């Protein structure tokens, strides 16, 4: 597969500081696809300097012109959708259909939303005798994960550019080829040199150097809570802005009166999609005790459609495969009942995990508390709504969730949930709705105008 052997810094692909490389592996067949340079602190420093040098010019560019660049970016991403989907399938293992619609399609939508927001956002407002200016924060260090390789990048870079910030991106080591395509797309869109810069590399080397760089004004991170906590501490020590999109353990609450078959089928599909590697996945299904057995039977039926190697892709790497299989073993050991799947790998080659459903899961079990990040659903039983709420809110996370039932009751329940986003009766995805976590699921919001506001700070002028 095509790969650049340099870093995209200051508007050109230039050689990395060292000759070290990272092998990119196809998780479906375990073959090496390409190599990309492993960046060091020197590469990060060069990229931050380029971003700093470009900042005054980009910040002073009228919002309408920034909007025009983003609209061109949207068009380039749309024109290259097929190539992007193939790359995501190769380096993440996403089934082609999912890669085309979600992995390559969603970024077009989000880039387009920021082309519009850049043109319409109120960067200036009147408050009594003051004029409040919303100004770009400066140089953004963006660190992204592999699970939605392009979406996670666009959800940071598009609002940052709309705001007038410049960016250095350190993408996940498992999915750098998609990030290189994104750099190509911005280059093709005619973004001025240095406004966007890419350093591929390892988290504890390039990622850490970016998070600690004194000339980065805001660090925006998506990934694990463990790394997020460190990045937050580093940013706090330096008194700089930080945005953290971390893990989740979302609840899918099925109230009596819900369309049970649909709630279960959509709930299973929600977790199986992307092999369960979605931070907002509804991995805990909560069912009233009267409907419990029926729901378990429906779940076993629904999950049977997800054949590994066909509708269900592999996990991203061997380490994640081992980690998820370990959680399944732990679920069995703690007394949960396997209804489908299990710890054995379903295919000899590729980092596949069997689509797995556990019944008789209690709220304290490890599999009901920790983020598994694999195709594993736990079905929990509740006695009444207060019990359901206690279970739904009973983790350290609060990223997303779902409620099914008569609309008024479902909304009343959702209001009591400690979580950042709730889908009511299978509500449709909205790219303008703020996305982000309560509790340890993170700090800050992405998408829409709330996502744009993260990259701005305010100045008040009094008259």
Give the separation between CA 373 and CA 58, rounded to whole angstroms.
38
Q: Please, what is the angle between helix 176-188 and helix 149-163, to 10°? A: 40
Binding site for Mg ion (CB under 5 A): 203
Say how far apart CA 19 and CA 16 lie, in whole Å. 7
The distance of closest approach from Cβ of residue 202 to ligand NAP in the complex, given in angstroms and rounded to an integer, is: 4
Rule CB under 6 A: choose which of 37, 136, 247, 313 binds ligand NAP: 247
Which residue's CB comes closest to Mg ion?
Answer: 203
Q: CB of 135: closest distance to Mg ion in angstroms?
A: 34
Residues 6+ apart with CB under 8 A from 384: none
Pattern of binders to ligand NAP over 78-117, x per CB under 6 A?
A: ----------------------------------------
360's CB contacts (< 8 A; 6+ apart) are: 335, 336, 337, 379, 381
- CA dihedral for 170, 173, 174, 177, sign (positive or negative): positive
Binding mask 307-326 for ligand NAP (x = CB under 6 A): -------------x------
Answer for the pair 455, 136: CB distance below 8 angstroms, yes or no: yes
Restricting to residues 257-316, name those near ligand NAP by CB under 6 A.
Answer: 279
Q: How many CB atoms lie within 10 A of CB 164?
A: 26
Chain residues 177-216 in contact with ligand NAP, contact rule CB under 6 A: 202-204, 207-208, 211
At 230, is the secondary structure helix, strand, or coil? helix
DSSP H or E stretch at residue 260: helix 260-272
Q: Which two tokens stand for residue 18?
A: 């060292």
Instruction: Tell me which of Mg ion, ligand NAP, none is bound by residue 279, counting a contact when its beta carbon lies within the kind-specific cut-off of 5 to 8 angstroms.
Output: ligand NAP
Decide whether 204 or 257 has the Cβ nearer to Mg ion: 204
Catalytic residue among 173, 245, 385, 446: 245
Per partner kind, with CB cut-offs from 5 to 8 A, the member of Mg ion, ligand NAP, none near residue 202 is ligand NAP
For ligand NAP, which residue of 172, 254, 285, 392 counts as binding (CB under 6 A)? 172
165, 279, 385, 454: the catalytic one is: 279
Residue 454 makes contact with ligand NAP by CB under 6 A: no
| Residue 203 CB, nearest approach to Mg ion (Å) | 5
Strands 284-288 and 376-382: parallel
| Whether the Cβ atoms of residue 372 and residue 283 lie closer than 8 Å to each other | yes
- Closer residue to ligand NAP (CB): 283 or 291: 283
Of the candidate spans 158-166, 169-177, 378-386, 427-435, the one that interacts with ligand NAP by CB under 6 A turns out to be 169-177
Q: CA 402, 403, 404, 410 torsion: positive or negative?
A: negative
Q: Which residue has the tokens 């375990």?
A: 30
Instruction: Note whether 15 binds ligand NAP by CB under 6 A.
Output: no
Asked if 165 is an active-site residue, the reply is: no
43: left (phi over 0), alpha (psi -120 to 50) or beta: alpha
| Residue 396 found at the interface with ligand NAP (CB under 6 A) | no
Question: Can 294 be counted among the known catalytic residues?
Answer: no
**Pick 57 or 203: Cβ nearer Mg ion:** 203
Q: Residues interacting with ligand NAP, by CB under 6 A?
A: 143-147, 170, 172-174, 202-204, 207-208, 211, 222-224, 227, 230-231, 245-247, 279, 320, 371, 373
Catalytic sites, residue numbers:
245, 279
């Amino acid at each position: 597969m095509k790969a650049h052997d340099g870093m995209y810094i200051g508007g050109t692909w230039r050689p990395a500081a060292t000759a070290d490389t990272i092998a990119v592996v196809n998780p479906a067949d375990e073959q090496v696809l390409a190599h990309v340079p492993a960046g060091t602190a020197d590469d990060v420093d060069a990229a931050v300097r380029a971003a700093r040098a470009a900042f005054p010019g980009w910040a002073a560019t009228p919002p309408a012109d920034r909007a025009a660049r983003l609209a061109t970016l949207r068009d380039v991403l749309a024109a290259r959708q097929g190539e992007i989907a193939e790359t995501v399938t190769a380096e993440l293992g996403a089934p082609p259909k999912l890669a085309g619609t979600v992995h390559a399609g969603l970024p077009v939508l989000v880039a387009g939303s920021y082309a519009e927001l850049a043109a319409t956002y109120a960067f200036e407002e009147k408050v009594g005798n003051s004029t409040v200016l919303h100004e770009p924060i400066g140089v953004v260090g963006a660190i992204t994960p592999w699970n939605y390789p392009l979406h996670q990048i666009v959800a940071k870079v598009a609002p940052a550019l709309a705001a007038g910030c410049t960016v250095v991106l350190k993408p996940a080591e498992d999915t750098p080829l998609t990030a290189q395509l994104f750099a190509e797309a911005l280059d093709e869109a005619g973004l001025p040199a240095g406004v966007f810069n890419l350093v591929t590399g390892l988290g504890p080397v390039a990622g850490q150097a970016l998070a600690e760089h004194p000339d980065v004004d805001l660090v925006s991170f998506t990934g694990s809570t463990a790394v997020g906590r460190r990045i937050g501490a580093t940013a706090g020590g330096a008194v700089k802005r930080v945005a953290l999109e971390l893990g989740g353990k979302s609840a899918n609450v099925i109230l009596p009166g819900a369309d049970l078959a649909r709630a279960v089928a959509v709930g299973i599909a929600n977790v199986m999609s992307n092999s369960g590697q979605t931070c907002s996945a509804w991995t805990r299904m909560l069912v009233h005790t009267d409907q419990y057995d029926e729901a378990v039977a429906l779940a076993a039926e629904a999950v049977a459609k997800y054949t590994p190697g066909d509708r269900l892709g592999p996990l991203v790497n061997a380490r994640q495969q081992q980690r998820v299989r370990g959680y399944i073993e732990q679920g069995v050991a703690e007394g949960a009942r396997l209804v489908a799947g299990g710890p054995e790998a379903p295919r000899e080659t590729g980092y596949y995990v069997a689509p797995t459903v556990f019944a008789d899961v209690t709220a304290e079990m490890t599999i009901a508390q920790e983020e598994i990040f694999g195709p594993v659903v736990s079905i929990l039983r509740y006695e009444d709504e207060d019990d359901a709420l206690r279970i739904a809110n009973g983790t350290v996370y609060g990223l997303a969730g779902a409620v099914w039932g008569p609309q008024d009751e479902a909304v009343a329940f959702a209001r009591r949930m400690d979580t950042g986003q709730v889908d009511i009766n299978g509500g449709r995805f909205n790219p303008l709705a703020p996305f982000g976590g309560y509790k340890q699921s993170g700090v800050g919001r992405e998408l829409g105008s709330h996502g744009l506001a993260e990259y701005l700070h305010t100045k008040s002028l009094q008259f």
